[in-house]
Amino acid sequence: MYIGTETKLTASEIAGLWTSYVNDSMGACVLRHFLNNVEDRETKAILKYALSLSEKHMKKIAEHFNEEKLPIPQGFTDSDVNMNAPRLYTDSFYLFYLRNMGRVGLVAYSMGLGTVGRSDIRDYFTGCLGSSIELLNKVTSLKQSKGIFIRAPRVAVPKQVTFVEKEDFMDDILGKKRPLLTVEVTHLYENIMTNIVGGPLVTGFGQTTNSKEVKDFMFRGMDIASKHKQLLSLLLSDENIPTPSIWDTFVTDSTVAPFSDKLMLFHVTTLNGAGIGNYSAAMVASLRKDLHVNYGRLATEIGQYVDDGTKIMIHHGWLEQPPQAIKHRELSNV
């Protein structure tokens, strides 16, 4: 059977488009404030490009939902961003933030593409993947040209092919661990970088909110990011492998909130949800059991943090409910 635009959207297609719309509406608010304060001309050009992608995505999704007579999500609007608020982050942070969001987008759009069947929806997610790749490459090239790109560590590796001969390859035998695999170094590095970006983000949110509840939540996230970064860095430094570090605090002294509490909580819980996925992927790719234990513990802590943030949003009526299957029994008048 031909699967074209005449086929009604499936649950996975609705879910993917709905999630994409809400995330892009949030991203558009953040990027508009960044653009209002950026000083560097090249950084401004990339922020404009990223904003244009979010706006294009939202327009296309709205068209699909209108065709299907589905409600367009409220997401985030002008009421969630204060364009008059002073700069909260540095230009350098904007580039680190964009690269992190580009990586998150690659994962989300790949997953979306893998769950849809209708040709026009596949085309949508294919286009999103292509633009995310382009954004990631633009940001990476600019960071390199400005000398602020933090490369993964270089390590010496054997010159010949070898095979694992003993089961203690995965275990800690008498306190002695085998050297890290390059794939394990990669995941440690990427998760450190995620916390390097996440820490300043929640710090800025925490110092500008007028809600004590939200402030406490954000600064708790700051402490978690710092602790996770230290633990993951120690796993590298224990083997004399360089650890990524930054030279910029990324956060200004502004105390005026550029974003609503609703947006800030959603942003943090969403990014931490992606962080759980990062830790899970690292656990699967890593063969040393001590890494499994650490990643499992970190993911559990992040999971609890996300749950607590979600409860705050529900309590205040800030969590927009995703599309839900109808319970047909409850529709009966009998």
Residue 30 near residue 47, CB atoms below 8 Å = no
Topology at the third CATH level for domain 11-145: Ferritin (1.20.1260)
Give 176's strand partners: 173
> Any residues with CB less than 8 A from the CB of 305 and at least 6 apart, and which?
220, 221, 224, 272
Q: Rounded to 10 degrees, what is the CA torsion of 72, 104, 209, 55?
A: -40
CA distance 306 to 89: 24
Residue 115 and residue 222 in contact, taking contact as beta carbons nearer than 8 Å: no
Are 79 and 258 contacting, i.e. CB atoms less than 8 angstroms apart?
Answer: no
**Integer Cα distance of 209 and 222 in angstroms:** 14
Q: Given this model, what pLDDT does residue 25 score?
A: 98
Q: Residue 151 has what pLDDT?
A: 85
Query: Residue 246: its pLDDT value, please?
Result: 82
Task: Report whether 225 contacts 201 (CB < 8 A).
Answer: no
pLDDT at 167: 63
Phi, psi of 121 (to 5 degrees): -75, -35
What token pair was written down for 196? 């390097």
Q: How far apart are CA 19 and CA 23, in angstroms?
A: 6
CATH 1.20.1260.10 occupies which residues in the chain?
Answer: 11-145, 169-316
**Residue 58 pLDDT:** 97
pLDDT of residue 156: 77
**Tens-level pLDDT at each residue, the chain (334 residues):** 444 455 899 999 999 999 999 999 999 999 999 999 999 999 999 999 999 999 999 999 999 999 999 999 999 999 999 999 999 999 999 999 999 999 999 999 999 999 999 999 999 999 999 999 999 999 999 999 999 988 888 887 778 887 877 766 666 554 578 889 999 999 999 999 999 999 999 999 999 999 999 999 999 999 999 999 999 999 999 999 999 888 778 999 999 999 999 999 999 999 999 999 999 999 999 988 899 999 999 999 999 999 999 999 999 999 999 888 777 667 666 6
For residue 3, the model assigns a pLDDT of: 47
Extended beta strands in 178-303, E state: none
Distance, CA of 299 to CA of 292 (rounded, Å): 10
CA–CA separation, 90 and 100 (whole Å) = 16
In this structure, how many other beta carbons lie within 10 angstroms of the beta carbon of residue 223?
11
Residue 146, Cβ density class (10 Å: 0-12 exposed, 13-18 middle, ≥19 buried): middle
Closest CA to 191 of 235, 257, 148, 159: 235
Report the number of secondary-structure helices (H) and strands (E) in the chain. 8, 0
Residues 238 and 252: their CA atoms lie apart, in Å, by 33
- Picking from 163, 146, 155, the residue whose alpha carbon sits closest to that of residue 98 is 146
Note whether 91 and 252 are within 8 A (CB). Answer: no
Question: Residue 53: which of 134, 144, 141 has the closest Cα?
Answer: 134
Q: How far apart are CA 313 and CA 300, in angstroms?
A: 20
Tell the CATH topology of 169-316: Ferritin (1.20.1260)
